[in-house]
């Protein structure tokens, strides 16, 4: 969704630094971009363009970009169409602002300001904050007070960055939206962003302010950053972390797309995860989590993370026998769930910034139950809000379609299940589990090496009308995830279905234009095969993903993707999932879509 980057420091290249930060945030999804900066004559300059960042860069060509202070934004439209006027920053003669989130009472504020003679240039809710702060400034309030008083009047979750041309300073504040700032004490630079990834390699120290803390960037001064409460007293309500300067910006390298690269990273990440939790820094966390004894678990998440939650549920119920519900985070708080003592809330997320997942966590926290995240981004809002956290260690995931995060979420959930069961205290059980992880990594390696055969199947089927992904038991979540992947990046209709449910309605859709990607595990083999027969009888095209060397399955299928299931046991669904990732990737490639940044999607959904 929207991206924020602000720079205050001695470099005269602040515009370039901000543009580079925005480029790194492109993966989050956006539809317009803009920058505001104070030029060498102390004048505020403002440029913004609908469309890709390249449009903005084109607009900036030939302009004098020497500036020490700059703020920039990539917008994902909510209020008002995708136009130059609606792009951020929004500015007037005394201020420029950028905004992520939604101002729920914007109409009311606009009406009030218009009655005072204020004129609005855009259709956005964001401009109401610009004019509110400006109104206070014009009435003589100092900048900090003007920001604080205006922010108190804003309803909804938002993050704002304010550039004050009079002093050239930058201020930021947020409620329920991501915001991070970072400093480099050697170069005296201070930056602010919606995502630490934009600051990688520039700053040594990161600060994650809590809600309603005003951040004041004053690069070049003794304190590069200062924090204030809304009553303007100094505060320490922030989390500070050393930034790992070895965190580099992810490059595609030899791969055509980030998605393909991320699919290929999975075996190594699985090995690293085992190492981290069995022999590295993560051991202590897992031991601590092993002391929890939940009576009932609620897992809440969105999209792919919710499907990973279903896989984790099967571990927790199958292995630990702990009753576990998986809840779509966007629905959870609207159905008045019964949360009681001994319940445990687990929140699965790649970004740790998904608005609905955060709201579900907040509901659990308020009801007094313990909360735990299974999350990728260390220091994210979800990470900070939960009582404890299990990092999935997937590294930066750039592809909007989540791949490696799913695998790591499910496997981290498996480690959590082992911790709950006390298995990590038993050396034999530990060795057995790490052996399974190693075997999974090895099988995925082999599958990736033979991915041309999957590409051939993708080429044969990518133009069909629709796709049913079917699976039973532990493969049902994999069917759901497979269909989601295809929809997201190939823009074709696909549905994940429990194999046995098809004849209760959707079978009416089967004809020679429909493909069934049938996930056929060795367990439940016969039952799944009879479901395939039903589709075959109605002329559906069968792509079976099943045990190698099975002639019956091969004969029944139009296309057959053989796999080696033996020894993988409960981890086998994650192996099958990689077939689905590759199928979706290659089908999208044959269709020629924008695989890493599919239309209409944002990497991190920070609004409800």
Residues at the site binding ligand M6R, with contacts judged by CB under 6 A: 302-305, 349-351, 354, 357, 400-402, 488, 601, 604-605
Looking at the Cβ atoms of 269 and 400, the one nearer to ligand M6R is 400
Residue 603's φ and ψ, nearest 5 degrees, are -65, -40
Bridge partners of residue 240, in order along the sequence: 207
3-state DSSP of 236-249: CCEEEEECCCCCCC
Residue 543 in tokens: 């792509």
E-state strands within 520-564: 541-547, 559-563
State the nearest-atom distance from the C-beta of 123 to ligand M6R, in Å. 26
Residue 356's φ and ψ, nearest 5 degrees, are -70, -40
Distance, in Å, from the CA atom of 261 to the CA atom of 265, rounded to the nearest integer, reads 6
State the nearest-atom distance from the C-beta of 520 to ligand M6R, in Å. 24
Bridge partners of residue 13, in order along the sequence: 67
Distance, in Å, from the CA atom of 296 to the CA atom of 323, rounded to the nearest integer, reads 5
Which residue, chain included where needed, has tokens 């204030």?
Answer: 228
Angular region, 245: left φ>0, alpha ψ -120 to 50, beta rest: alpha
Looking at the Cβ atoms of 22 and 392, the one nearer to ligand M6R is 392
Distance, in Å, from the CA atom of 457 to the CA atom of 265, rounded to the nearest integer, reads 23
State the nearest-atom distance from the C-beta of 348 to ligand M6R, in Å. 7
Distance, in Å, from the CA atom of 594 to the CA atom of 222, rounded to the nearest integer, reads 46
State the nearest-atom distance from the C-beta of 315 to ligand M6R, in Å. 18
Count the helix, strand and coil residues of the chain and give each as a percent rounded to the nearest 5: 40, 25, 35
Looking at the Cβ atoms of 125 and 488, the one nearer to ligand M6R is 488
Distance, in Å, from the CA atom of 164 to the CA atom of 3, rounded to the nearest integer, reads 20
Cα–Cα nearest to 192, from 212, 168, 220, 163? 163
In the DSSP assignment, the letter for residue 529 is H
Distances 270 to 18, 290, 356, 425 between C-alpha atoms, Å? 34, 21, 28, 21
Looking at the Cβ atoms of 173 and 579, the one nearer to ligand M6R is 579
State the nearest-atom distance from the C-beta of 329 to ligand M6R, in Å. 8
- Coil, helix or strand at residue 276: helix
Distance, in Å, from the CA atom of 181 to the CA atom of 159, rounded to the nearest integer, reads 12
Which residue, chain included where needed, has tokens 């004490």?
Answer: 185
Residue 465 in tokens: 């009308």
State the nearest-atom distance from the C-beta of 388 to ligand M6R, in Å. 18
State the nearest-atom distance from the C-beta of 305 to ligand M6R, in Å. 4
Looking at the Cβ atoms of 137 and 494, the one nearer to ligand M6R is 494
State the nearest-atom distance from the C-beta of 487 to ligand M6R, in Å. 9
**Of the residues 2, 70, 302, 386, which is catalytic?**
2
Looking at the Cβ atoms of 14 and 354, the one nearer to ligand M6R is 354
For ligand M6R, the nearest residue by Cβ is 303
Looking at the Cβ atoms of 269 and 605, the one nearer to ligand M6R is 605
Residue 96's φ and ψ, nearest 5 degrees, are -140, 140
State the nearest-atom distance from the C-beta of 307 to ligand M6R, in Å. 8
Distance, in Å, from the CA atom of 503 to the CA atom of 510, rounded to the nearest integer, reads 10
Looking at the Cβ atoms of 134 and 351, the one nearer to ligand M6R is 351
Cα–Cα nearest to 161, from 176, 183, 185, 180? 180
Distance, in Å, from the CA atom of 528 to the CA atom of 209, rounded to the nearest integer, reads 51
State the nearest-atom distance from the C-beta of 442 to ligand M6R, in Å. 25
Looking at the Cβ atoms of 95 and 391, the one nearer to ligand M6R is 391
Q: 386 catalytic, yes or no?
A: no
Q: 242 catalytic, yes or no?
A: no
Residue 308 in tokens: 């990973």
CB 132 within 8 Å of CB 582: no
Cα–Cα nearest to 189, from 4, 3, 5, 11? 11
Looking at the Cβ atoms of 557 and 604, the one nearer to ligand M6R is 604
Looking at the Cβ atoms of 19 and 159, the one nearer to ligand M6R is 159
Distances 203 to 189, 496, 582 between C-alpha atoms, Å? 8, 44, 36
**Of the residues 110, 261, 487, 603, which is catalytic?**
603
State the nearest-atom distance from the C-beta of 601 to ligand M6R, in Å. 6
Residue 541 in tokens: 């095209």
Helix (H) or strand (E) holding 20: helix 14-25
Residues known to be catalytic: 2, 603
């Amino acid at each position: 969704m929207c991206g924020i980057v602000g720079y205050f420091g001695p470099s005269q290249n602040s515009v370039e630094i901000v543009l580079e930060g925005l480029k790194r945030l492109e993966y989050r999804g956006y539809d317009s971009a803009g920058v505001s900066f104070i030029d060498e004559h102390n004048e505020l300059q403002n440029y913004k363009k609908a469309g890709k960042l390249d449009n903005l860069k084109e607009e900036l060509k030939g302009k004098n970009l020497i500036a020490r202070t700059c703020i920039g934004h990539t917008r994902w439209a909510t209020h008002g169409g995708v136009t130059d006027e609606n792009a951020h920053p929004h500015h007037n003669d005394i201020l420029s602002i950028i905004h992520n989130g939604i101002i729920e009472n914007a109409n009311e504020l606009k009406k009030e300001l218009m009655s005072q003679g204020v004129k609005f240039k855009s259709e956005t809710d964001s401009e109401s904050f610009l004019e509110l702060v400006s109104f206070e400034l014009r009435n003589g309030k100092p900048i900090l007070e003007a920001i604080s008083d205006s922010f108190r009047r804003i309803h909804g979750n938002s993050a704002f960055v304010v550039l004050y041309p009079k002093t050239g300073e930058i201020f930021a504040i947020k409620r329920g939206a991501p915001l991070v700032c970072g400093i480099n004490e050697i170069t005296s630079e201070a930056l602010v962003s919606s995502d630490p990834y934009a600051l990688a390699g520039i700053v040594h120290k990161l600060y994650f302010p809590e809600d309603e803390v005003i951040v004041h960037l004053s690069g070049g001064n003794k304190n590069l950053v200062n924090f204030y409460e809304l009553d303007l007293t100094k505060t320490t309500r922030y989390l500070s972390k050393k930034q790992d300067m070895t965190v580099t910006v992810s490059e595609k390298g030899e791969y055509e797309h980030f998605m393909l690269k991320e699919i290929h990273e999975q075996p190594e990440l699985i090995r690293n995860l085992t190492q981290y939790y069995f022999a590295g820094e993560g051991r202590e966390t897992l031991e601590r989590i092993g002391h929890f004894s939940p009576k009932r678990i609620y897992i809440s998440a969105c999209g792919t993370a919710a499907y990973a939650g279903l896989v984790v549920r099967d571990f927790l119920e199958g292995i630990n026998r702990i009753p576990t519900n998986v809840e779509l985070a966007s629905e959870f708080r609207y159905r008045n769930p019964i949360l009681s003592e001994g319940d445990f809330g687990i929140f699965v997320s790649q970004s740790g910034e998904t608005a609905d997942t955060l709201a579900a966590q907040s509901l659990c926290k308020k009801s007094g139950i313990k909360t735990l995240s299974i999350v990728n981004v260390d220091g994210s809002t979800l990470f900070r809000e939960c009582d404890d956290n299990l990092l999935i260690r997937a590294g930066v995931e750039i592809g909007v379609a989540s791949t490696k995060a799913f695998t790591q979420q499910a496997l981290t959930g498996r480690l959590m299940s082992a911790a709950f069961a006390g298995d990590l205290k038993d050396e034999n059980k530990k060795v057995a589990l790490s052996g399974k992880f190693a075997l999974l990594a090895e099988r995925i390696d082999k599958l990736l090496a033979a991915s041309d055969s999957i590409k051939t199947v993708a080429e044969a089927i990518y133009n069909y009308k629709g796709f049913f992904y079917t699976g039973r038991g532990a493969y049902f979540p994999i069917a759901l995830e497979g269909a989601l992947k295809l929809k997201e990046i190939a823009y074709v209709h696909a549905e994940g279905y429990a194999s046995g449910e098809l004849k209760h309605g959707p079978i009416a859709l089967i004809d020679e234009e429909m493909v069934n990607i049938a996930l056929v595990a060795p367990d439940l083999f016969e039952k799944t095969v009879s479901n395939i027969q039903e589709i075959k009888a109605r002329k559906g095209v069968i792509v079976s993903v099943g045990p190698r060397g099975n002639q019956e399955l091969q004969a029944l299928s139009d296309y057959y993707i053989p796999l080696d299931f033996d020894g993988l046991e409960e981890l086998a669904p994650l192996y099958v999932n990689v077939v689905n990732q590759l199928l979706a990737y290659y089908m999208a490639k044959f269709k020629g879509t924008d695989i890493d940044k599919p239309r209409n999607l944002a990497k991190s959904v920070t609004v409800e």
